[in-house]
Chains A and B, each alone.
Chain A
Amino acid sequence: MNVLLFDGSPKTIKSTSSLLLRTLEKKFLEKGAAVSFGNGRNHCVQDNTKAVQVSDSMIIALPLYVDGLPSHLLACLENMEEQLRQSAQKATVYGLVNCGFFEGHQADGALNILRLWCEKSGLTWGGGIGLGAGGMLSSVPLDNGPGKKIGKALDELVENGMKQKPIENTFVEPNFPRILYLYAAHLGWWRQGKKNGLGRKDLYKKLV
Protein backbone atom coordinates (compact mmCIF):
# COMPACT_ATOMS: atom_id res chain seq x y z
CA MET A 1 0.00 0.00 0.00
CA ASN A 2 1.61 3.26 -1.18
CA VAL A 3 0.39 6.33 0.66
CA LEU A 4 1.15 9.88 -0.44
CA LEU A 5 0.89 12.52 2.27
CA PHE A 6 0.53 15.84 0.48
CA ASP A 7 1.14 19.08 2.36
CA GLY A 8 -1.09 21.86 1.08
CA SER A 9 0.10 24.53 3.51
CA PRO A 10 1.98 27.58 2.20
CA LYS A 11 4.15 27.50 5.34
CA THR A 12 7.50 25.83 4.98
CA ILE A 13 7.87 25.04 8.67
CA LYS A 14 5.69 24.42 11.73
CA SER A 15 2.34 24.25 10.02
CA THR A 16 -0.64 22.43 11.50
CA SER A 17 -1.02 20.59 8.19
CA SER A 18 2.50 19.16 8.39
CA LEU A 19 1.96 18.21 12.04
CA LEU A 20 -1.17 16.29 11.09
CA LEU A 21 0.66 14.57 8.24
CA ARG A 22 3.46 13.49 10.58
CA THR A 23 0.81 12.02 12.87
CA LEU A 24 -0.71 10.17 9.92
CA GLU A 25 2.71 9.01 8.82
CA LYS A 26 3.25 7.17 12.12
CA LYS A 27 -0.17 5.58 11.94
CA PHE A 28 0.25 4.44 8.33
CA LEU A 29 3.75 3.08 9.00
CA GLU A 30 2.37 1.09 11.94
CA LYS A 31 -0.07 -0.48 9.50
CA GLY A 32 2.75 -1.44 7.15
CA ALA A 33 2.17 1.15 4.43
CA ALA A 34 4.96 2.69 2.37
CA VAL A 35 4.68 6.44 2.91
CA SER A 36 5.94 9.28 0.75
CA PHE A 37 5.51 13.03 1.02
CA GLY A 38 4.68 15.75 -1.44
CA ASN A 39 3.75 19.39 -1.17
CA GLY A 40 1.92 22.05 -3.11
CA ARG A 41 4.89 24.43 -2.85
CA ASN A 42 6.78 22.19 -5.28
CA HIS A 43 6.35 23.85 -8.67
CA CYS A 44 7.40 20.76 -10.60
CA VAL A 45 4.20 19.38 -12.14
CA GLN A 46 6.00 16.21 -13.24
CA ASP A 47 7.17 15.43 -9.68
CA ASN A 48 3.75 15.97 -8.21
CA THR A 49 1.88 14.09 -10.92
CA LYS A 50 4.23 11.12 -10.76
CA ALA A 51 3.87 10.97 -6.99
CA VAL A 52 0.09 10.78 -7.34
CA GLN A 53 0.25 8.20 -10.12
CA VAL A 54 2.23 5.71 -8.06
CA SER A 55 0.04 6.10 -4.96
CA ASP A 56 -2.87 4.00 -3.80
CA SER A 57 -4.08 6.56 -1.29
CA MET A 58 -3.35 10.26 -1.13
CA ILE A 59 -4.14 12.52 1.79
CA ILE A 60 -4.06 16.25 1.11
CA ALA A 61 -3.74 18.26 4.32
CA LEU A 62 -4.31 21.98 4.13
CA PRO A 63 -5.39 25.03 6.07
CA LEU A 64 -8.68 26.72 5.21
CA TYR A 65 -7.83 29.99 3.47
CA VAL A 66 -10.55 32.58 2.82
CA ASP A 67 -13.04 29.71 3.13
CA GLY A 68 -11.29 27.72 0.41
CA LEU A 69 -7.95 26.31 -0.67
CA PRO A 70 -4.72 28.33 -0.47
CA SER A 71 -4.01 29.79 -3.91
CA HIS A 72 -0.69 28.00 -4.39
CA LEU A 73 -2.35 24.62 -3.74
CA LEU A 74 -5.20 25.42 -6.11
CA ALA A 75 -2.64 26.26 -8.80
CA CYS A 76 -0.69 23.06 -8.08
CA LEU A 77 -3.78 20.87 -8.33
CA GLU A 78 -5.00 22.57 -11.50
CA ASN A 79 -1.58 22.14 -13.09
CA MET A 80 -1.72 18.41 -12.41
CA GLU A 81 -5.25 17.90 -13.70
CA GLU A 82 -4.55 17.53 -17.39
CA GLN A 83 -1.71 15.02 -16.99
CA LEU A 84 -3.67 12.97 -14.49
CA ARG A 85 -6.74 12.94 -16.69
CA GLN A 86 -4.79 11.50 -19.63
CA SER A 87 -4.35 8.09 -18.02
CA ALA A 88 -6.25 5.89 -15.62
CA GLN A 89 -5.52 6.77 -12.02
CA LYS A 90 -5.58 4.34 -9.13
CA ALA A 91 -5.31 6.71 -6.18
CA THR A 92 -8.13 7.38 -3.75
CA VAL A 93 -7.81 10.92 -2.43
CA TYR A 94 -8.79 12.10 1.03
CA GLY A 95 -8.89 15.67 2.27
CA LEU A 96 -7.84 16.88 5.70
CA VAL A 97 -8.71 20.55 6.15
CA ASN A 98 -7.90 22.39 9.34
CA CYS A 99 -9.41 25.78 10.05
CA GLY A 100 -8.78 28.45 12.61
CA PHE A 101 -12.49 28.72 13.30
CA PHE A 102 -13.80 26.47 16.02
CA GLU A 103 -16.29 24.60 13.84
CA GLY A 104 -14.91 21.88 11.62
CA HIS A 105 -17.91 22.07 9.29
CA GLN A 106 -16.66 25.42 7.97
CA ALA A 107 -14.19 23.30 5.98
CA ASP A 108 -17.03 21.66 4.03
CA GLY A 109 -16.61 23.94 1.02
CA ALA A 110 -12.89 23.19 0.78
CA LEU A 111 -13.59 19.44 0.82
CA ASN A 112 -16.07 19.92 -2.01
CA ILE A 113 -13.46 21.81 -4.04
CA LEU A 114 -11.03 18.91 -3.57
CA ARG A 115 -13.76 16.44 -4.57
CA LEU A 116 -14.35 18.30 -7.82
CA TRP A 117 -10.63 18.34 -8.57
CA CYS A 118 -10.60 14.57 -8.13
CA GLU A 119 -13.53 14.12 -10.51
CA LYS A 120 -11.94 16.28 -13.18
CA SER A 121 -8.56 14.60 -12.76
CA GLY A 122 -9.87 11.04 -12.96
CA LEU A 123 -9.09 10.32 -9.31
CA THR A 124 -11.40 8.66 -6.81
CA TRP A 125 -12.61 10.91 -4.01
CA GLY A 126 -12.44 9.12 -0.68
CA GLY A 127 -14.00 11.78 1.52
CA GLY A 128 -12.43 14.02 4.08
CA ILE A 129 -12.23 15.52 7.50
CA GLY A 130 -12.78 19.12 8.50
CA LEU A 131 -10.94 19.96 11.71
CA GLY A 132 -11.94 22.93 13.78
CA ALA A 133 -9.91 24.90 16.29
CA GLY A 134 -6.80 24.46 14.18
CA GLY A 135 -4.95 26.95 16.33
CA MET A 136 -4.83 24.54 19.24
CA LEU A 137 -4.07 21.29 17.42
CA SER A 138 -0.33 21.63 17.96
CA SER A 139 -0.88 22.09 21.69
CA VAL A 140 -2.95 19.03 22.52
CA PRO A 141 -2.15 15.33 22.26
CA LEU A 142 -4.37 13.75 19.61
CA ASP A 143 -4.95 10.45 21.33
CA ASN A 144 -6.47 11.57 24.63
CA GLY A 145 -8.00 14.52 26.41
CA PRO A 146 -9.40 17.35 24.29
CA GLY A 147 -7.83 15.93 21.12
CA LYS A 148 -9.25 12.44 21.49
CA LYS A 149 -12.08 12.92 18.96
CA ILE A 150 -9.57 14.19 16.43
CA GLY A 151 -7.28 11.24 17.01
CA LYS A 152 -10.23 8.94 16.46
CA ALA A 153 -11.11 10.66 13.18
CA LEU A 154 -7.51 10.31 12.01
CA ASP A 155 -7.52 6.61 12.97
CA GLU A 156 -10.64 6.08 10.89
CA LEU A 157 -9.01 7.90 7.98
CA VAL A 158 -5.97 5.63 8.21
CA GLU A 159 -8.08 2.49 8.58
CA ASN A 160 -10.04 3.31 5.44
CA GLY A 161 -7.06 4.78 3.62
CA MET A 162 -5.27 1.45 3.93
CA LYS A 163 -8.13 -0.19 2.02
CA GLN A 164 -8.91 2.73 -0.32
CA LYS A 165 -12.37 2.76 1.20
CA PRO A 166 -14.41 5.97 1.20
CA ILE A 167 -15.35 7.80 4.38
CA GLU A 168 -18.26 10.11 5.03
CA ASN A 169 -17.11 13.69 5.34
CA THR A 170 -16.48 14.16 9.04
CA PHE A 171 -16.36 17.43 10.93
CA VAL A 172 -14.77 17.48 14.32
CA GLU A 173 -13.45 19.85 16.94
CA PRO A 174 -11.43 19.26 20.11
CA ASN A 175 -13.48 18.53 23.19
CA PHE A 176 -12.96 22.04 24.53
CA PRO A 177 -15.30 24.97 25.21
CA ARG A 178 -15.56 27.25 22.20
CA ILE A 179 -15.45 30.41 24.30
CA LEU A 180 -12.17 29.33 25.91
CA TYR A 181 -10.70 28.63 22.49
CA LEU A 182 -11.75 32.13 21.42
CA TYR A 183 -10.09 33.73 24.48
CA ALA A 184 -6.97 31.62 24.03
CA ALA A 185 -6.77 32.62 20.36
CA HIS A 186 -7.06 36.30 21.22
CA LEU A 187 -4.37 35.95 23.88
CA GLY A 188 -2.20 34.25 21.29
CA TRP A 189 -2.59 37.10 18.80
CA TRP A 190 -1.82 39.69 21.49
CA ARG A 191 1.32 37.76 22.43
CA GLN A 192 2.48 37.48 18.84
CA GLY A 193 1.92 41.19 18.40
CA LYS A 194 3.90 41.91 21.57
CA LYS A 195 6.84 39.84 20.27
CA ASN A 196 6.78 42.11 17.23
CA GLY A 197 6.80 45.23 19.39
CA LEU A 198 3.10 45.94 19.05
CA GLY A 199 0.59 46.74 21.78
CA ARG A 200 -2.94 45.36 21.77
CA LYS A 201 -4.43 48.51 20.26
CA ASP A 202 -1.87 48.43 17.44
CA LEU A 203 -3.35 45.19 16.15
CA TYR A 204 -6.64 46.99 15.46
CA LYS A 205 -4.96 49.62 13.27
CA LYS A 206 -7.03 51.07 10.44
CA LEU A 207 -5.24 52.25 7.29
CA VAL A 208 -8.27 53.98 5.76
Chain B
Amino acid sequence: MNKTLWIHDLTKENAASFFDTLSAEDKVIDGNDVKKHCIGCFGCWTRTPGCCVITDCWENIPKSVAGAEKVVIVSRLVYGSYSPTVKRVLDRAIGYILPFFRIVNNEMHHQMRYDKPFELTVHFYGESILDREKDIALKLVRANGVNMGTGEPEVFFHRSFNEIKEALI
Protein backbone atom coordinates (compact mmCIF):
# COMPACT_ATOMS: atom_id res chain seq x y z
CA MET B 1 0.00 0.00 0.00
CA ASN B 2 1.44 3.39 -1.01
CA LYS B 3 1.96 5.77 1.82
CA THR B 4 1.20 8.93 -0.11
CA LEU B 5 -0.16 9.41 -3.60
CA TRP B 6 0.81 12.72 -5.15
CA ILE B 7 -1.22 14.12 -8.03
CA HIS B 8 0.20 17.24 -9.63
CA ASP B 9 0.38 19.48 -12.67
CA LEU B 10 3.89 20.84 -12.17
CA THR B 11 6.44 21.31 -14.91
CA LYS B 12 8.93 18.44 -15.24
CA GLU B 13 11.64 20.68 -13.85
CA ASN B 14 9.70 21.64 -10.73
CA ALA B 15 8.49 18.09 -10.24
CA ALA B 16 12.03 16.70 -10.47
CA SER B 17 13.30 19.14 -7.86
CA PHE B 18 10.62 18.07 -5.41
CA PHE B 19 9.67 14.46 -5.95
CA ASP B 20 13.18 13.03 -6.15
CA THR B 21 13.29 13.03 -2.34
CA LEU B 22 10.15 10.99 -1.85
CA SER B 23 10.02 7.65 -0.11
CA ALA B 24 9.91 4.50 -2.24
CA GLU B 25 6.48 3.84 -0.78
CA ASP B 26 5.07 7.00 -2.29
CA LYS B 27 3.59 7.25 -5.76
CA VAL B 28 3.37 10.22 -8.09
CA ILE B 29 0.90 10.86 -10.90
CA ASP B 30 1.96 13.70 -13.16
CA GLY B 31 -1.29 14.90 -14.70
CA ASN B 32 0.64 16.11 -17.74
CA ASP B 33 1.32 12.46 -18.62
CA VAL B 34 -2.40 11.57 -18.51
CA LYS B 35 -3.40 12.60 -22.01
CA LYS B 36 -6.91 11.18 -22.26
CA HIS B 37 -9.83 12.60 -20.36
CA CYS B 38 -12.81 10.72 -18.97
CA ILE B 39 -15.36 10.02 -21.68
CA GLY B 40 -18.31 9.58 -19.37
CA CYS B 41 -18.97 5.97 -20.33
CA PHE B 42 -19.36 4.72 -16.72
CA GLY B 43 -17.31 1.68 -17.71
CA CYS B 44 -15.33 2.01 -14.46
CA TRP B 45 -18.60 1.27 -12.69
CA THR B 46 -20.38 -1.21 -14.95
CA ARG B 47 -17.84 -2.81 -17.28
CA THR B 48 -14.47 -3.01 -15.49
CA PRO B 49 -15.48 -2.07 -11.93
CA GLY B 50 -12.84 -0.04 -10.16
CA CYS B 51 -10.74 0.36 -13.27
CA CYS B 52 -10.99 2.84 -16.17
CA VAL B 53 -11.83 1.27 -19.53
CA ILE B 54 -9.35 3.50 -21.39
CA THR B 55 -6.22 1.34 -21.60
CA ASP B 56 -3.51 3.95 -21.81
CA CYS B 57 -1.55 2.78 -18.74
CA TRP B 58 -3.63 5.18 -16.57
CA GLU B 59 -6.59 2.85 -16.18
CA ASN B 60 -5.52 2.05 -12.62
CA ILE B 61 -5.70 5.57 -11.24
CA PRO B 62 -8.66 4.49 -9.04
CA LYS B 63 -6.59 1.59 -7.69
CA SER B 64 -3.72 3.98 -6.93
CA VAL B 65 -6.08 6.16 -4.92
CA ALA B 66 -7.36 3.10 -3.07
CA GLY B 67 -3.82 2.06 -2.21
CA ALA B 68 -2.94 5.37 -0.60
CA GLU B 69 -3.13 6.41 3.03
CA LYS B 70 -2.82 10.02 1.97
CA VAL B 71 -3.58 11.77 -1.29
CA VAL B 72 -1.84 15.08 -1.82
CA ILE B 73 -2.87 17.20 -4.77
CA VAL B 74 -0.73 20.06 -6.05
CA SER B 75 -2.66 22.12 -8.56
CA ARG B 76 -2.85 25.47 -10.18
CA LEU B 77 -6.05 27.20 -9.08
CA VAL B 78 -8.29 27.78 -12.11
CA TYR B 79 -11.60 29.62 -11.60
CA GLY B 80 -11.77 28.16 -8.10
CA SER B 81 -11.23 24.65 -9.41
CA TYR B 82 -8.35 22.28 -9.94
CA SER B 83 -6.44 22.86 -13.16
CA PRO B 84 -7.67 20.92 -16.22
CA THR B 85 -4.53 18.77 -15.91
CA VAL B 86 -5.23 17.68 -12.36
CA LYS B 87 -8.98 17.46 -12.99
CA ARG B 88 -8.27 14.99 -15.80
CA VAL B 89 -6.70 12.65 -13.23
CA LEU B 90 -9.52 13.11 -10.73
CA ASP B 91 -12.22 12.49 -13.35
CA ARG B 92 -10.53 9.21 -14.26
CA ALA B 93 -10.43 8.26 -10.59
CA ILE B 94 -14.18 7.87 -10.10
CA GLY B 95 -13.84 4.10 -10.24
CA TYR B 96 -12.53 4.53 -6.68
CA ILE B 97 -16.13 4.97 -5.55
CA LEU B 98 -19.28 3.00 -6.35
CA PRO B 99 -22.04 4.18 -8.68
CA PHE B 100 -24.57 3.49 -5.93
CA PHE B 101 -25.89 6.26 -3.74
CA ARG B 102 -26.24 6.85 -0.02
CA ILE B 103 -27.67 9.73 1.98
CA VAL B 104 -25.14 11.79 3.96
CA ASN B 105 -26.26 14.91 5.85
CA ASN B 106 -29.58 14.77 3.99
CA GLU B 107 -27.82 14.81 0.62
CA MET B 108 -27.28 12.09 -1.93
CA HIS B 109 -23.65 11.02 -2.37
CA HIS B 110 -21.80 8.00 -3.67
CA GLN B 111 -21.22 4.83 -1.69
CA MET B 112 -17.64 3.82 -0.94
CA ARG B 113 -16.04 0.93 -2.76
CA TYR B 114 -13.29 0.61 -0.17
CA ASP B 115 -13.47 0.48 3.61
CA LYS B 116 -10.32 2.38 4.47
CA PRO B 117 -10.52 6.13 3.81
CA PHE B 118 -7.51 8.24 2.86
CA GLU B 119 -6.53 11.69 4.07
CA LEU B 120 -6.88 14.40 1.45
CA THR B 121 -4.67 17.46 1.25
CA VAL B 122 -4.75 19.98 -1.55
CA HIS B 123 -2.18 22.66 -2.30
CA PHE B 124 -3.44 25.21 -4.78
CA TYR B 125 -1.11 27.75 -6.29
CA GLY B 126 -1.51 30.88 -8.39
CA GLU B 127 0.00 34.34 -8.65
CA SER B 128 -3.09 36.32 -7.76
CA ILE B 129 -5.76 34.30 -6.05
CA LEU B 130 -9.03 36.04 -5.32
CA ASP B 131 -10.81 35.44 -2.02
CA ARG B 132 -13.89 34.22 -3.83
CA GLU B 133 -11.74 31.73 -5.75
CA LYS B 134 -10.58 30.38 -2.42
CA ASP B 135 -14.22 30.09 -1.25
CA ILE B 136 -15.17 28.13 -4.35
CA ALA B 137 -12.12 25.90 -4.06
CA LEU B 138 -12.73 25.17 -0.37
CA LYS B 139 -16.30 24.12 -1.05
CA LEU B 140 -15.20 22.00 -4.01
CA VAL B 141 -12.58 20.12 -2.03
CA ARG B 142 -14.97 19.61 0.90
CA ALA B 143 -17.56 18.18 -1.50
CA ASN B 144 -14.88 15.89 -2.94
CA GLY B 145 -14.02 14.80 0.59
CA VAL B 146 -17.63 13.80 1.26
CA ASN B 147 -17.90 11.89 -2.00
CA MET B 148 -14.60 10.11 -1.53
CA GLY B 149 -15.25 9.40 2.14
CA THR B 150 -12.16 11.20 3.41
CA GLY B 151 -12.09 13.09 6.68
CA GLU B 152 -12.11 16.88 6.58
CA PRO B 153 -9.63 17.73 3.79
CA GLU B 154 -6.82 20.22 4.33
CA VAL B 155 -6.59 22.98 1.75
CA PHE B 156 -3.74 25.44 1.32
CA PHE B 157 -3.20 28.32 -1.07
CA HIS B 158 0.19 29.44 -2.27
CA ARG B 159 1.42 32.10 -4.65
CA SER B 160 3.91 29.80 -6.36
CA PHE B 161 5.38 26.32 -6.44
CA ASN B 162 8.37 27.60 -4.43
CA GLU B 163 6.03 28.49 -1.58
CA ILE B 164 4.63 24.95 -1.66
CA LYS B 165 8.16 23.55 -1.55
CA GLU B 166 9.02 25.69 1.44
CA ALA B 167 5.83 24.65 3.18
CA LEU B 168 6.37 20.95 2.62
CA ILE B 169 10.10 20.52 3.09
Chain A binding surface, main DSSP class:
helix
Closest to B34 in A: A71
As a 0/1 sequence over residues 170 to 193 of chain A, the CB contacts with chain B under 8 angstroms (1 = contact) are: 000000001000100110010011
Among residues of A, the one whose C-beta sits closest to the C-beta of B111 is A204
| Residue pair A109, B46 in contact (C-beta under 8 Å) | no
Q: Is A101 part of the binding interface, using a Cβ–Cβ cutoff of 8 Å?
A: yes
Check A103 for interface membership: any CB of B closer than 8 A.
yes
Query: In the complex, are the beta carbons of A67 and B100 less than 8 A apart?
Result: no
Asked if A206 and B50 make an inter-chain contact with CB atoms under 8 angstroms apart, the answer reads: yes
Instruction: Let me know if B82 is at the binding interface, CB within 8 A.
Output: yes
8 A Cβ contacts from A1-37 to B:
9-11, 15
A183, chain B: closest CB distance, angstroms: 10
Of chain A, the residue at the smallest CB distance from B94 is: A66
Among A44-52, A112-120, A140-148, A154-162, the one that faces the other chain is A112-120
Q: Decide if B10 is an interface residue (CB 8 Å cutoff).
A: no
Q: In the complex, which residues of chain B have a beta carbon less than 8 angstroms from the beta carbon of A116?
A: 79-80, 130, 132-133, 136
**Is A128 in the interface zone, CB < 8 Å from B?**
no
Which secondary structure dominates chain B's binding surface? mixed
- A113/B101 contact (C-beta < 8 A), A68-B140, A70-B40, A192-B46 known: no
Q: How far is the CA of A186 from the CA of B101 in the complex (A)?
A: 8
B62 at the A/B interface (Cβ < 8 Å)?
A: yes
Q: A74, B84: Cβ atoms under 8 Å? A: yes
Q: How large is the interface on A (under 10, 10 to 19, 20 to 34, 35 or more residues)?
A: 35 or more
Contact indicator A182/B38 (Cβ below 8 Å): no
Residue among A11, A66, A112 making CB contact with B147, cutoff 8 Å: A66
A208/B114 in contact, CB under 8 A = yes
Q: Which B residues form the contact surface with A (CB < 8 A)?
A: 1, 37-42, 45-47, 49-51, 60, 62-63, 66-67, 78-85, 87-88, 90-91, 93-94, 98-101, 103, 107-109, 113-114, 130, 132-133, 136, 139-140, 143-144, 147
Listed by A's residue number, 24 A-B pairs whose Cβ atoms lie within 8 Å are A10-B37, A10-B38, A10-B39, A65-B91, A66-B93, A67-B143, A68-B87, A70-B37, A70-B40, A70-B87, A71-B38, A71-B85, A74-B84, A102-B101, A109-B140, A113-B80, A192-B42, A196-B47, A198-B46, A203-B98, A204-B49, A205-B50, A206-B113, A208-B67
